[in-house]
Amino acid sequence: MTNPSLLILAGDGIGPEVMTEVRKVIDWYGAKRDLAFDVSEDLVGGCAYDAHGTPLTDETMAKAQEADAVLLGAVGGPAYDDLDFSLKPERGLLRLRKEMDLYANLRPAQCFDALADFSSLKADIVGGLDIMIVRELTSGVYFGEPRGIHKEGNERVGINTQRYTESEIARVARSAFELARKRDNKVCSMEKANVMESGVLWRQVVTEIHAAEYPDVELSHMYADAGAMQLTRWPKQFDVIVTDNLFGDLLSDLAAMLTGSLGMLPSASLGAPMANGRPKALYEPVHGSAPDITGQGKANPIACILSFAMALRYSFDKGDEATRLEQAVEAVLADGLRTADLIGEEGRDPVSTSEMGDAIVAKLDASL
């Protein structure tokens, strides 16, 4: 029996640093839990441009299509700001999402008890928070045509088109309902049906899918702007939120800050099942490449490590092992270990990127 395959694309900035800590965790599972992966590595983003003149080669794209899962670090940096739009590091990530057809972006927002006071909201509002935002990722206003900047008379006009087909809405709705069945069985669908025809269709299709296939799941609807307000008022009223590409981008970043730090948050982008039954999948931390702290040992590896935990759960059917890893992270935080982004005004000395990774592996050892 062959091991499942995992393609690592560490990328730019702090990507390689946090991925080094993920490799420690991967190696631990191979050595201690008889859960080995065939791991390969390649380039994406600015480092791929430096080596090959493109942010993602066709060869790397082919590897991603064949892998059981892709784990990505981060892309981008100021060194690439002046590149043509088609060559910017972020185009490599967008190509992966589009060509792998990763239409469902899962962004959990979980506040560990040890970090409840680190949030900008009161601890009783965010303590124990555990919600999942499911963002449609391959359509909507970021991909719709026509788009561009052109002249009308004496002034420039920028155009982006919000476009959704009912099949695009239906498949991401199904992803949200399936997730809800494994959680608290509640879905809130967010759009702007009061002012946008695409929102009207979104609400209609989600309602139809619910009635026909998931009547056991509690469904509610909310306008996206009201949803933003409710996320900051009482976020624990939600379980799974499903929404479109643009609103999902905004709402998931808002939800991210409820937990206190972008350095804590993983994500998964899932597509249709492959021949082996596993969904095509890419896992990545929500944070960026953080060029201002690159190479200083200050990066928080937890988001990338938790992204691997999501891979264990959603790509490899190892939910118990994913929980083991998440509990190891929680235990380290409960012990008071903090990377620089989690220090705040507490005055304690931060641990380095590698020290945090080592501490998590030690907690995994302690779990046996």
- Residues classed as catalytic: 142, 192, 225, 249, 253
- Cα distance between residue 50 and residue 38, in whole Å: 27
Coil vs helix vs strand at 338: coil
Contact present, 89 and 80 (Cβ < 8 Å): yes
Token pair 């380095």 in the structure block, residue: 352
- Cα distance between residue 55 and residue 221, in whole Å: 39
- Cα distance between residue 332 and residue 300, in whole Å: 13
Please count the other Cβ atoms lying within 10 Å of the Cβ belonging to residue 44: 31
DSSP annotation string for 172-221: HHHHHHHHHHTTTSEEEEEE-TTT-HHHHHHHHHHHHHHHHH-TTSEEEE
Residues in Cβ contact with 358 at an 8 Å cutoff, skipping those fewer than 6 apart: 24
- Cα distance between residue 299 and residue 297, in whole Å: 6
Most distant CA pair in the chain: distance in Å?
A: 71
